[in-house]
Each structure stands twice: as structure tokens, then as C-alpha cells.
Structure 1
Amino acid sequence: MRFTMSIVVASVVAAIVATLPGTASAAGGDTAPGAWEPAPQAAFELPAGARCDFAVRVEPIVDEVRKLTLATYPDGSPERELFTGALIDRVTNLETGATSTADASGSALVVYGTDGSMTWYVTGPVLLGFRENAGSLPKGLWIVDGQFTVEFTPTFEKTITMLHGTTHNVCTDVD
């Protein structure tokens, strides 16, 4: 029940804070959050076999993602941040030129560990890449949609725990 409640609370917080203009008030007695700021995704390419069986390029064609820092560690690094906004990626098979779009416009509360780990509490779709044997989904570029958490180890292995939702390997769209 604790997990379900944390997802619901994170989703509600994300929805409420996403509607606030400019800045928000202090959260939970930690440091006061700053202003919403852009959080652009950089385009990237991966070689054949890294996520898909072929070389692939992922580039944002709509990127309105913004973030709000809710709390920081004493050294100023983020402890908790909210991310929200439209993100549509074009996924291109670099061997054939086939393309597809992927809606990754979910909202997430991201909690950063001091060891390099992090946990995302997500509502809506996000695009996640999985290496071979490095997480709870097979190798691929996955749109994960619904309400779920993603736990990242410091080496970026990922474990998804779904409350409800769907998964789809975008590699199959451009194969």
C-alpha cells in the first residue's frame, strides 16, 4: 500500500505543481523551490545492438519540458525535481531511414540518491532505453505509459514497477 500511495501522492503533486505559474512556495520545509526552467532533451544516436538491432537516432521535434527543483542537498545538487511538458521524439532507423514519432510527454517526480541512483514517480508516457540484461524490460527503446516508478541504479540499470499502464518497444516501429 505504501508504494501505491507514493505514486498517487507524486502524481497529485506533479499535477498541482504543473499548474502553478512561474514559481511555487516552499515544499515540506526543505529548501524553497526555484522557478520552472526549460529541461531540453538533446538528440542522440546509438549504434546497432545498443538498444535496437540497428543504429538509431532519437531527436525531439516538440520539446516543452520544464523542471522545478523542490529540494537540494547541502552541496546544491538536486534532491527532488518535478518534470512536465510536451515531448515528442522522432526515432529514426539510421540503416533504412524509417522514422516514427514517440510521445514521451509524461510528468515525473524525480528523487535523486546521494550514490547516483534515482527513482522516478511517473504519470504518462516516457521513453526509456534498456540495454541487454540491464533492467526489467528487454533491450529496446520503450514507451512506458501509465502510473509507475522507475528505479535507476548508479550504473543506470532500470526496474519498472507498474501500478497500471502499458509498454511498447519503439524499435519495432522503425524495423
Structure 2
Amino acid sequence: MRFKMSVAVASVVAAIATALPGSASAASGGGSHGAWEPDPQEAFEMPAGARCDFAVRVEPIVDEVRKLTLATYPDGSPRRELFTGALIDRVTNLETGATSTADASGTSLVVYGTDGSMTWYVTGPVLLGFRENAGSLPKGLWIVDGQFVVEFTPTFEKTITMLHGTTHNVCTDVD
């Protein structure tokens, strides 16, 4: 299974490389269903206990993320999208005011299931929130960096399969 996963991610990385700006495929359209467009992240707050033991706010301070729709379902909803660009978030403990920054500037190919599930094939860091008992990492706000796959259920439980990389709970930086 590990070998199959590695081959799958290698194929995705190759697909990402050909779709990134400046590549021949991206410049010629490469069969994509649209053009690169901004995909700004909204700031959000979580109450104490939801991700960290304290109330937290996450807001982008650098947000150059863009997306490219690669394929759609017959109803026009996205089937596969590519996301890339700089994203630096400020994480604030709303109880103490302590802040930290988190680099979430990874590149992800996202494949959407018709049942509300999705799979991310990722290179680089992303920020992922985990609820208590709702995935492969403990509750927290995690920077996951490296090469990995994240599978989301329709209820947003997450399972990460790391090929190589690191995880860091940002809650500990602002506790």
C-alpha cells in the first residue's frame, strides 16, 4: 500500500508541476476548465475547546492563494482543483492576546467526491484544524508540512497519510 500511495502522490506532483504558472501546460490552457483566480481565506474564530483549549482567531496576513479548476461535474461543481500561493496566518489566543504566525503556503490538488468527501494531495505546509476524536491527529490547529494526503469524510473528519514531513500544533505557540 505504501508503494501505491507513493506512486499516486508522485503522479499528482507531476500533474501539479505541469499546471503551475509558467509551465507549458498552464500557458496553453492544458485542458483546464478555467483560469487561475484568487481564493482568499476568510478570518475565523473558534471557541475555547473547539481546536485549542482557549478561544482562537486565525486571520491571513499574507494571502496570495489562487486556484485553478481542472475538472468539473456535469452540474458545474468542481471535481478537481489546484490551489497554490503564499498564505501566512496570524493565530491569536483570544484570552491572552498571544500571537504567532503560521506558514500555510503549500500546494494542493483537491479531488471532490459526490458525497461531500474530498482528498487533498499536498506538497508543503497547510494549516488544518482537528476536533476532538475527529481524525488522525489530536484536537488542535496543526501545521502539516511535507508530502502527504488528507482524506476528508463528508463530516470533515480527517485522515492524514504522511509520505514524509512534520506536524506541529500551533495551539502550543500561543498557549
TM interval, shorter chain, is over 0.9
2-structure distance, mates of 1:133, 1:142: 15
The 8 Å contact of residues 23 and 33 in structure 1, kept in 2 or not, is answered as no
Going from structure 1 to structure 2, the CA distance change for 1:84 and 1:24 (only over 3 Å counts) comes to: same
Deviation at 1:126, TM superposition (A): 0.1
TM-score, scaled to structure 1? 0.94
**Contact persistence 2:19–2:30 (CA under 8 A):** no
SS in 1 for 2:74: coil
The residue type paired with residue 11 of structure 1 is V
Of 9-18 and 73-82, deviating more is 9-18
Displaced runs of 4 or more, over 4 A? none
Question: Residues of 1 paired with 2:4 and 2:163: CA distance?
Answer: 12
Q: Cα deviations across residues 23-68 of structure 1 (Å, max 9, x unaligned)?
A: 7221xxxxx4210000110000000000000000000000000000
1:9 corresponding residue in structure 2: 11
The residue correspondences of 1:145-164 to structure 2 (distance < 5 A) are 145-164=145-164
Alignment of 1:26-37 (within 5 A): 26=31, 32-37=32-37
Unmatched segments (≥5 aa) in structure 1: 27-31
- Residues 79 and 111 of structure 1 are in contact (CA less than 8 Å); yes or no, is this contact kept in structure 2? yes
Listed as ranges, the gaps of 5+ residues in structure 2 are none
Q: Note if contact 1:23-1:34 (Cα within 8 Å) is conserved in structure 2.
A: no
Q: Report the Cα distance in structure 2 between the residues aligned to 1:57 and 1:22, rounded to whole angstroms.
A: 38
Residues 1-175 of structure 1 aligned to structure 2 (within 5 Å): 1-20=3-22, 24-26=29-31, 32-175=32-175
Residue aligned with 2:134, SS: coil
Contact kept? 2:21, 2:27, Cα under 8 Å: no
CA distance in 1, matches of 2:90, 2:17: 26
Amino acid at match of 1:171: C
CA deviations over 1:112-161 (Å, ceiling 9, x no partner): 00000000000000000000000000000000000000000000000000
